[in-house]
Every structure is written in C-alpha cells, then in structure tokens.
Structure 1
Amino acid sequence: MFKLVTVITAVHGPGAQYLPDAYESLLAQDLPDGWEWEWVIQQDGETEEVLPYVPDDPRVKFGQGRAGRAAMARTVGLSRAQGDYVKVLDADDMLTPGSLARDLTALLGNPGVSWATSRVLDYLPDGSTLGFDQDPPEGVIDRGAVLDHWKAHDYRAQVHPATLFMRRDLLMALGGWMALPASEDTGLLLALNAVSRGWFTAETGLLYRKWPGQVTNQAAHVNQGEREARMAVIEARASVLANLEGWRFNMG
C-alpha cells in the first residue's frame, strides 16, 4: 500500500476556473517509490460553480460546506485527509515539477524538521514571472527565525506560506489554519516555526498566480485596521507557543 501526501485546496466559485491548471501541475509530480498523492478539494460554499472543474480522478476528494473563507474550508477538508504529510495548494496556483518530492525528501532526510517551504515566483497575467528578493539560503530554518524576520520587515516573512508542506499530526495539534479573514496561512507558518524547525528549498516550488479576482487583490485585504488586528493575533499566538513550558513537538 502506498504512503500518502495529501494536497489540500480551498476553492470558491471565481477561482474554480484555475483548478485544471493546478491538476496538471499535480500530474507532473514524481514522488519517491512507495509514495502517492491524494488531492482534497474543499469548496468554500455550496454553489454549482466548482464541480464542473473538479477532475474525474479517484485520487481527488471533493467536498462542499457553508462559506467561511479559506481557513475554514481547508480545516474542514482535513477530515478527508489520509496522508502523513499535508501540502497546501491554492486553487489558482501551480506546483513546479518535483516540488512534492523535494518537500518530502527534506522532511524524511532531516530529523527535527517538520515543515518545509520553497521559493515562489509570482505568475503574472501576461505569463511572465517575478521573484522575491528576501529568500533565505537553502536549508534548515531555526525555530523563531520566521517570527524575527516577519517583525523586522513590516509583517512579511522570508518564506511563503502558500508553499507549506508539513506533518499532518503537527498541523492537527496546532488546530489547522487560523480563523482569520486573511493571513490565516501566515498565522500557521509562524505557529509551525514557533514549535519546530523547518526547511527552505531554493529551487522554485510554486507559481503564485496574480489575477484581479484573487482574495489578496481586494481592497479589504489591505484595510489598515483589520491588518493590524490580524498581525497582532498572529504574533501573540506565535509568541505564546514559543514560550509555552512543557509543550514541544515530539518527532517520534
């Protein structure tokens, strides 16, 4: 029997059109012997807009639920996840070939590392790409390093939470994604780094699509009052986890 990596995707109606591209990027993955992926797609809402774009593939598990934004959709989708590891893939993004294998190898080959991220390229509407100028060197990310960088760079982490790959047991222990209207994945990234070391792969692992309908392109996403509230609760959670006596993740 294969061991599984669960790829989890939250999707709402406007983003469903990009699911076929995400699926094609999954088909291009080549995992080590004995491993396979499954794709959990959870619709944020119960409309008829998404199902026509869901691939007819036994490895794909589709579900719907009442609307509550991406954090709730992903966390509900975890009920169908069977993998020992979970990879995030937003509906409008695409993995690069080899991305899953690199993430898995990083965790299997580095004791004490329980999550991984990789380099990201913004994928612009004209098909061009744009990189990020603060990528760390490839290798281990020490506990607390993400929070330190995030606070020193106007709440911008040096690694991208849309590339997260992590142990499912640790993800469950942390309660999934934060119940926030945005930045829920950043909150999870900082929580992971508060309790465990991570890994950064310098090879590009994700194409992050930029398009007018994406949630992070809406005016509400940069509302200053809401942004300050999100950042405050994310920082508080990470700080508490980092200093919690007697709670450390057992890698056994």
Structure 2
Amino acid sequence: MSCISIITPCYEPDVKHLNEAYESVVNQELPEGWELEWVIQEDGTTGVPETMIPQDPRVKFGAGRRGGTGITRNLALARSQGVLIKSLDQDDILTPGVLARDIEVLAENPDVQWTTSRALDLLPDRSTVGAESDPLAGRIEPGFVFEYWKAHNYRLPVHPATVCIRRPLIVSLGGWMGVPGSDDTGMLVAASMLSVGYFHDEVGLLYRKWPGQESTKPRHTEPTEWNLRMDLIRERTESIQEVWGMRSHGPRLPSI
C-alpha cells in the first residue's frame, strides 16, 4: 500500500474552516493500492486543533514550539510517511478527485516530480474567482516557473498551495524554505528548476480569502522584508541552476 501525506501547518485555526478542510480530505477517493494520512502540525503547543475535528485514524496531530509556517510544515514532513507530499493550508478546501489526479500523473510519468492544479479563490460570500495566469494543462518544463516568476513581479504562473511533490525531491531541497510568508513559493520555484512538473486544469483547490488570512496582513507585503524574501528565492534558484545545470533536468530521483 502506497501513502500520500497531506501536510497542514496549524496556528489559531477557525473551527469551521478546519472542519471544511477535514471533510475535503476524508472524502477523497484514491486509486486502488493507495491510502492517505493528514498530518496536522500545530505551530505551538495549545492542543486546540486536535479538539476541533472528529477523531480519525487518518489524521495525525503534532505540536511544537513556535517557529512559523515553513518550520511547522517541515516538522509535519518529518512525521509523515507518504511517498507523495500534498500541501493543504488549514483554511483551504481540496476539491473532489484532486488526489487521484495527482497520484495518476506521478505514478504514470516517472520523470514528472511535482504537480499543481487550478485554484479558485473562495470569497466570504462563498463565491469563487479564478486566476488569469493558469498555463495550459500538461507538462511544465524546468525553468518555466522561475522565468515567469521573475518576469511578472514575483508572481507565480501556478498556485503553490496546490503542490503535490515526490518525497525525495522535497526532502533533498530541505523541505519548505525557511522564510516568512513565502516558504511554499521558495520550495516550488526551486523544485521547478530541478525537475519536470505538471499542471491540472481541473480545479483542485478552493483557496479561502478572509480577513484572518496571514497574506492579507500588512506585514506580509512590507517592502523591506518582501524584497529580502524574493531576493533570496531568486538567488537560491539561480544557484541551483548553476550547480545542477539543465542538461538532464537535475538529479535522478526514484519513481513511485
């Protein structure tokens, strides 16, 4: 039996949002021979998240000292068992069938190391809004994400919250990047330089927009810190490009 691990960092969650995330996880239908685990890691030690959703053997809770989102994701990664790692924030919702699509592409294409999906913003009134930057469905060659990101004021062509990635690749990168607020962007840009990805044009995620969202707070876009984050992501990716080169799409990584 192969396992896909869903990684969720958790800090002061909203009970309604966390329960909607739970329902979206446990109602996924997986291909034969696959199982899932949902690894929820609290950024802190209150124990509150564990009281908010039903007891379920597929849900594994962890807690630790405050460290921010990236470090919290990495602690969850260390506790996980999956050969595939799927990102899910505590207030977002997986759409039906997304895990099966991720698994199918990665199982059938050994050179593809990560997938992303179309995402819709979920607004407070439950309406949804799509992005205009989605690429065509199919393979994403190394370098494409990075070049788009640089050319569009550090905006990605795919949504980093939808990533599903092979375990050896994300572990070799050191997990999510240790920067505040852009840890998933840093991880995806680096992974996309090393390897082939894939974009699903079916909606795979409802990305909740609400007042308590971290990315809506002024500190997320404070210019000095924002520029430092973006400069480090750019320098890291250029260093990866220089060290590994583009001759063979980076290091060889095992298939599922």
TM superposition score normalised by structure 1: 0.96
Please list, as runs of the form range in 1=range in 2, the aligned pairs for 1:1-252 lying within 5 A after superposition.
Answer: 2-245=1-244, 248-252=250-254
Paired amino acid for 1:172: V
- How many residue pairs end up in the alignment? 251
Tell me by how many angstroms 1:17 deviates: 4.3
Q: Mark the CA change 1:146 to 1:171 in structure 2 (over 3 Å): closer, same or farther.
A: same
Using the alignment, how far apart are the partners of 2:244 and 2:32 within structure 1? Answer: 40
- Report SS of the residue matched to 1:30: coil
Unpaired runs of 5+ residues, structure 1, are: none
Distance 2:53 2:143 in 1: 38
C-alpha distance in 2 between matches for 1:102 and 1:8 = 18
Does structure 2 conserve the Cα–Cα contact (< 8 Å) formed by 1:15 and 1:214? no
Q: What displacement does 1:15 show?
A: 4.1
- Aligned-residue Cα RMSD (Å) equals 1.3
Q: What letter matches 1:243 in structure 2?
A: E
* SS in structure 2 at match of 1:13: coil
TM-aligned CA distance change 1:226 to 1:15, over 3 Å:
farther
Q: Aligned equivalents of 1:184 and 1:45: distance in 2?
A: 18
| Structure 2 gap segments, 5+ residues each | none
Shift of 1:19: 1.4
With 195-204 and 12-21 compared, the bigger mean Cα shift is at: 12-21
Mapped to 2, the partners of 1:56 and 1:3 lie a distance apart of 23
Task: Report the CA distance between 1:106 and its aligned residue.
Answer: 1.2
Offset, 1:214? 1.1
Residue 239 to residue 55, structure 1, CA distance change in 2 (3 Å): farther
Query: Per-residue deviation at 1:249?
Result: 2.3
Q: How many angstroms does 1:26 deviate by? A: 1.0
2:5 & 2:74 partners in 1: Cα distance?
13
Is contact 2:13–2:90 with CA below 8 Å preserved after alignment?
Answer: no
Distance between the aligned counterparts of 1:17 and 1:65, measured in 2? 23
Question: Does the C-alpha gap of structure 1 residues 27 and 35 become closer, same or farther in structure 2, counting only changes over 3 Å?
Answer: same
Q: Secondary structure at the match of 1:135?
A: coil
Q: Which amino acid letter does the alignment assign opposite residue 86 of structure 1?
A: I
Structure 2: distance between partners of 1:206 and 1:70: 19
**Aligned residue type for 2:136:** P
Task: Give the conservation status (yes or no) of the 8 Å contact 1:13–1:47.
Answer: no
Any idea what the Cα deviations from partners look like across 1:66-101, whole Å, max 9, x if unmatched? 111110111011121111000000000000000001
TM-score between both structures, scaled by the size of structure 2: 0.95
Contact 2:194 2:241 in 1 (8 A): yes
Range with greater deviation from structure 2 (123-132 or 9-18): 9-18
Instruction: Give the C-alpha shift of residue 16 in structure 1.
Output: 5.0
Letter in 2 for 1:130: V
Alpha-carbon distance between aligned partners in 1 of 2:244 and 2:179, rounded to the nearest angstrom? 26
Cα–Cα, structure 1 residues 66 and 77, in superposed 2: closer, same or farther, change >3 Å? same
| CA distance in 1 between partners of 2:120 and 2:136 (Å) | 16
- Counterpart Cα distance in 1 of 2:244 and 2:83: 27
1:18 deviation in Å? 1.7
Mark the CA change 1:245 to 1:150 in structure 2 (over 3 Å): closer, same or farther.
closer
Q: How much identity, in percent, do the aligned residues show?
A: 48
Instruction: Name the CA distance, whole Å, in 1 between partners of 2:174 and 2:86.
Output: 16
Cα distance, 1:55 vs structure 2:
3.0
